[in-house]
Chains A and B, each alone.
Chain A
Amino acid sequence: QLQLQESGPGLVKPSETLSLTCTVSGGSISSSSYYWGWIRQPPGKGLEWIGSIYYSGSTYYNPSLKSRVTISVDTSKNQFSLKLSSVTAADTAVYYCARLQVGATTGPAFDIWGQGTMVTVSS
């Protein structure tokens, strides 16, 4: 059964770069039927899509975050990563990684999620 697990620092200083990794187990990140994505949720607020990546490295980013976001993939480690630069307190959130199904006969939907990791931006 496919599982996703986020990892990375739980505390980041303002103006620094937030870095998280999502490890995929129980399946290959190189499947042609899926993208892989990052979504975040500030405390007490709703979900926000950050961006998605294909195993080939093709990426799509939320326009509101695009200037600060980089998502990359390492197929040899079955991992994909998120970097968010110049963080402020507004970037404090639970960060989820998720699998995005994009089959030939199905539209995009996040069908498997990691448990999420809380990242706090504070000095």
Chain B
Amino acid sequence: QSALTQPRSVSGSPGQSVTISCTGTSSDVGGYNYVSWYQQHPGKAPKLMIYDVSKRPSGVPDRFSGSKSGNTASLTISGLQAEDEADYYCCSYAGSYKVFGGGTKLTVL
């Protein structure tokens, strides 16, 4: 099992939108609609932001949205705010196993 591929970093200005990609294979991202996304601030535990590709848990702002095409899933954050600056990780089901992406650092300029 190889880690899912994410860009090391992305950035955007307040109010703008950014998209973080997560590329896997037909054995994980492409094979199931079970991609989740996590936000992690420094020194804190990860927080679930998106599950089942595009569903938001209660309390997560609708500025966060998810999608998938083929073997690539994406997390889009619209109306960027300073508090969105964090690391973001994707995770996919891979047939009883779970595989994470390498993480993307989002910088709000």
Contact = CB atoms under 8 A, between A and B. Distances in A.
A51 to B, nearest CB: 9
Interface residues of B, number: 26
B52 interface: yes
A69 to B, nearest CB: 13
Given A46-B89, A47-B38, A110 B48 contact: yes
Interface in B52-109: 52, 55, 57, 89, 91, 93, 96-103
B49 to A, nearest CB: 10
21 contacts: A39-B100, A46-B89, A46-B101, A46-B103, A47-B38, A47-B46, A47-B91, A47-B100, A49-B99, A49-B100, A60-B97, A62-B1, A62-B97, A101-B51, A108-B98, A110-B48, A111-B48, A111-B51, A111-B57, A113-B46, A114-B45
Given A46-B101, A47-B89, A106 B45 contact: no
Contacts, number: 66
Contact of A107 (B45, B52, B89): B52
A62 to B, nearest CB: 7
Nearest to B93: A108
A119 B52 CA distance: 32
A46 B102 CA distance: 5
B45 A115 contact: yes
Contacts of A37: 98
Contacts of A26: none
A111 B91 CA distance: 12
Nearest to A101: B51
Contacts of B101: 46
Contacts of A48: 100
A64 interface: yes
A81 interface: no
B89 A49 contact: no
Contacts of A110: 36, 38, 46, 48, 91
